[in-house]
Structure 1
Amino acid sequence: MDSFSQTLIAFNLVFCLFRSVAASDSLTVQNPYLRDGFSLVSRNGNFELGFFSPGLLGDRYLGIWFKNRRGPTSVWVANRENPINGSSGVLVMNITTGNLTLYGHNTTDVVWSARLLRKVPNGVLQLLDNGNLVLRDGDVENPQNYSWQSFDYPTDTLLPGMKLGWDLRNNINRRLSAWKNLNDPSPGSFTWRMELHEYPETVMWNGSKKYFRHGPWNGVTISSWPLGLAPNLILHFVSNEDEVYYQYTVIDESYTVMLVMNQSIYVRTVYLWSVNEREWTVYNSLPRDFCDNYALCGPYGYCDFRVVPSCSCLEGFKPRSLQNWKAGGFAAWL
């Protein structure tokens, strides 16, 4: 019998005892398992890690969500492409190597595992109050020494403090991909990522087609970022030999902000949670209108959403095909 099986048997013997224990924010070498039906809660109660079913089929996923808030609260999902059928899932932190693995029905049914930057035999898996799930050495809390963190592997949501972009040292591309639909958290075709070139910029993609781009950093902000993005929100851009990323922080802690990719309507939405009003509100969405779509009117065309059709040719140009132009296939030529 392997060490995992022995430890799992021992865990099952004391399983009922955990029902009376207050929620913890960590897994440790003394308690290295999280089973379906139990959860980790961040120290100040902002976030919760556990198993959930988003749809009617009952498929189970390990995820992180805002605790005690109505509305769109899920912010991260581990096994997006490999749901667990039933409530047999268990998250295991190996007490010898520090490896982090999610099992389905048995020890051979691996549905998800973490890509560790280094081994942490004295590991602690901790859910932080900013929504980041981190695996670290038990004696070290420095973020630079995390062996793994969920912020490096986002799903459809960007939280304050998360980075959208590249960790070039470890070849980690921090990008967002929308859920396929409200009942299926597997990665959809609607994505948002950092494009690396001389002037890095973030671009939304619909499959293999560019859908929307913000434009590059102009030294102060993103050139096409909407003004008044959210109350007291500050944008940061970092580009060096180690990392290239955007990040935002919120000064006013009475507001919670999250950016969510939504494939149902193909928009990236900024949600605000007000402590006073106790509800989520939509602050803004991108694209803002029809004309925000990338290269909509083709070369030598321009867009005006106030008229129909919205695309027109620049002076001196005419449609390459009048029939296609009227059907929405915009392309102009001299």
Structure 2
Amino acid sequence: MQGLFFFLFMNSLSFLTTISTSTDTLTSSQILRTSQTLESSNETFVLGFIPGINLNNFYLAIWYKNSQDTVVWVANRDNPLQNNSTNDGFLKIGDNGNIVLLNSSSNNNLVWSSNQTTVTKNQLVLQLLDNGNLVLRETNVNDPTKYLWQSFDFPTDTLLPSMNLGWNFEKNTEKHLTSWKITGQNPSTGDYSYKIDFHGLPETFLVGSDRSLMYRGGPWNGETFSGLPEAKMQEDTDSIVFNFSWNEHGVYYSFSTINGSIYSRLVLNSYGQLQHFTWNQSTKTWSTKYLYVFLSDDCDQYRKCGPYSICGAHASPVCKCMKGFVPKNERTWNVNDFESDGCVRKTNLDCKSDEFYQMVNVKLPETTKTPVFVNTTMGIKECGDLCRRNCSCTGYANIFVTNGGSGCVMWFGELVDIINYTKGGQDLYIRQAYSKLGTPSSPEFGASSGIKWFQSPPNAVAGDRIVVLPAKLSVNHH
């Protein structure tokens, strides 16, 4: 029976033709062999096969034509085509409408498939677009919303302009970057992923291979993610536009180039670093616009200091309790074991007389695992009044720093993973028991982290309901 299937399959291949000239499209009647390529019409991107460390292993990949060692997407990253001769493997559009990569030297075993489930009887084509997106579509359909499958929905380690990362709430699908095992050498799944968590305020996370959270980038503040202030300082505002969209349909992060002729890419490398490269046409090389070295100091470690504490990269020790808090476990704290217990309040709150102090230049506390209230239109005064009236509210802040600040986020639990910066960051208002001593002394981490005090109004009441509001947001920055 297997022999009959193989005979029928090989007989069906006799009706297929290989592409003979450089083109951006593969039809249902054609196959793409390992020695052949597709090329986007603007001659920017190439689809073809690249060898692995083992030269008999091949991967279906997309790369830049002018920089052939710069691979931006790999289909079969964890299942290479084991190819003993130049033309043993081939790519085709299968009878069921899937893109399939087959190995003809081993009974045409399936190596990789697009696994798309939409069935159509219409003629299909596979096309490499000018933006680097490989799409499967019906022959006469050019509407991007009607593509049957596209590589942009399945990123590997690279984000290109017009790609996005994040969540589609309607389809319950997610897109993220995952590093190569060895950047530039082994494209199999690596140790790091860069993802967006949409619970609370959407935040970026660096995730390890064991799904452990290693670094939190903070929520989007209208300019950048609050835990990446260096991105705002180092970005090339003349050529790059960063976009963030957050509404009832989904949450996405992307970037675009003002000058469409500029080649630009964001890459998560095998060391867990997020690099932004731009092509230098004069030198024919890639230059790094900015580099996120996530784990460059102790404060980058996720939840390094535990609850109600602040991490300062240039302080000694790096972790200190917030004003009005003391180490929960003095013994472990004194041997620099900060993470396990963190800090606790020195004096219990009584709601009516509670005060709020303002911290500046900080990464806002985590919102994805702590109950929060989110409203994108409320101002900081209204936000503060609402927090004061709810005795469970532990802190509040503006969501956005643009145009003088706007939006409201309130926390109703422990405040964790706060970092103090010398520049950048945001203002955070912390609930504190009334201090008979008046205005406190200067903060622990430098003059830039100034503290201001605000007392609760006398009519503060307890028991307001905690609500996580759906937020509507679509912003860009350049």
Which interval holds the TM-score relative to the shorter structure? 0.7 to 0.9
| Cα distance change, pair 241–302 in 1 and its aligned pair in 2 (3 A) | closer
Asked if 2 retains the 8 angstrom alpha-carbon contact of 1:152 and 1:172, the reply is no
Give the whole-Å Cα distance in 2 for the aligned partners of 1:134 and 1:325.
57
User: What is aligned with 2:13?
Assistant: 8
Give the whole-Å Cα distance in 2 for the aligned partners of 1:83 and 1:321.
54
| Cα distance change, pair 29–324 in 1 and its aligned pair in 2 (3 A) | same
User: What is aligned with 1:284?
Assistant: 290
**Displacement after TM superposition at 1:243 (Å):** 2.9
Structure 1 segment 210-225 matched on structure 2, within 5 A? 210-219=213-222, 221-225=224-228
User: What is aligned with 2:212?
Assistant: 209
User: What is aligned with 1:24?
Assistant: 23
Asked if residue 50 in structure 1 is aligned to residue 55 in structure 2, the reply is no
**Match of 1:213, SS?**
strand
Give the whole-Å Cα distance in 2 for the aligned partners of 1:241 and 1:118.
25
Specify the structure having the higher radius of gyration (Cα): 2
Give the whole-Å Cα distance in 2 for the aligned partners of 1:327 and 1:110.
53
Asked if 2 retains the 8 angstrom alpha-carbon contact of 1:165 and 1:246, the reply is yes
Give the whole-Å Cα distance in 2 for the aligned partners of 1:130 and 1:246.
17
User: What is aligned with 1:303?
Assistant: 311
Question: TM-score normalised to the size of structure 2?
Answer: 0.62
| Cα distance change, pair 132–306 in 1 and its aligned pair in 2 (3 A) | same
**Match of 1:151, SS?**
helix
Asked if 2 retains the 8 angstrom alpha-carbon contact of 1:300 and 1:333, the reply is yes
**Displacement after TM superposition at 1:22 (Å):** 2.6
**Match of 2:67, SS?**
coil
Give the whole-Å Cα distance in 1 for the aligned partners of 2:330 and 2:58.
51
User: What is aligned with 1:270?
Assistant: 276
Give the whole-Å Cα distance in 1 for the aligned partners of 2:46 and 2:155.
16
Deviates more, 1:138-147 or 1:316-325: 316-325
- The amino acid of 2:326's aligned partner reads F
Give the whole-Å Cα distance in 2 for the aligned partners of 1:110 and 1:211.
36
Deviates more, 1:50-59 or 1:173-182: 50-59
**Match of 2:218, SS?**
coil
Give the whole-Å Cα distance in 2 for the aligned partners of 1:145 and 1:45.
25
| Cα distance change, pair 267–9 in 1 and its aligned pair in 2 (3 A) | same
RMSD of the alignment, in Å? 2.7
**Displacement after TM superposition at 1:276 (Å):** 2.5
User: What is aligned with 1:98?
Assistant: 97
Asked if 1 retains the 8 angstrom alpha-carbon contact of 2:45 and 2:63, the reply is yes
Question: TM-score normalised to the size of structure 1?
Answer: 0.86
**Displacement after TM superposition at 1:176 (Å):** 1.1
Task: Give ranges in structure 2 of 5+ residues lacking alignment.
Answer: 345-478
**Match of 1:6, SS?**
helix
User: What is aligned with 2:115?
Assistant: 115
Percent of aligned pairs with the same residue?
35
Asked if residue 258 in structure 1 is aligned to residue 265 in structure 2, the reply is yes
Give the whole-Å Cα distance in 2 for the aligned partners of 1:169 and 1:153.
17
| Cα distance change, pair 38–108 in 1 and its aligned pair in 2 (3 A) | closer
User: What is aligned with 2:34?
Assistant: 36
- Deviation per CA, 1:169-193, whole angstroms, max 9, x where unpaired? 3332111111122332222231112
| Cα distance change, pair 41–70 in 1 and its aligned pair in 2 (3 A) | closer
Asked if residue 79 in structure 1 is aligned to residue 76 in structure 2, the reply is yes
User: What is aligned with 2:139?
Assistant: 138
Asked if 2 retains the 8 angstrom alpha-carbon contact of 1:98 and 1:122, the reply is no
Asked if residue 60 in structure 1 is aligned to residue 63 in structure 2, the reply is no
Asked if 2 retains the 8 angstrom alpha-carbon contact of 1:212 and 1:287, the reply is no
Give the whole-Å Cα distance in 2 for the aligned partners of 1:119 and 1:220.
42
**Match of 2:115, SS?**
coil
Structure 1 segment 228-267 matched on structure 2, within 5 A? 228-231=234-237, 232-263=239-270, 265-267=271-273
**Displacement after TM superposition at 1:25 (Å):** 0.7
**Displacement after TM superposition at 1:327 (Å):** 6.8
**Displacement after TM superposition at 1:202 (Å):** 2.3
Give the whole-Å Cα distance in 1 for the aligned partners of 2:50 and 2:203.
35
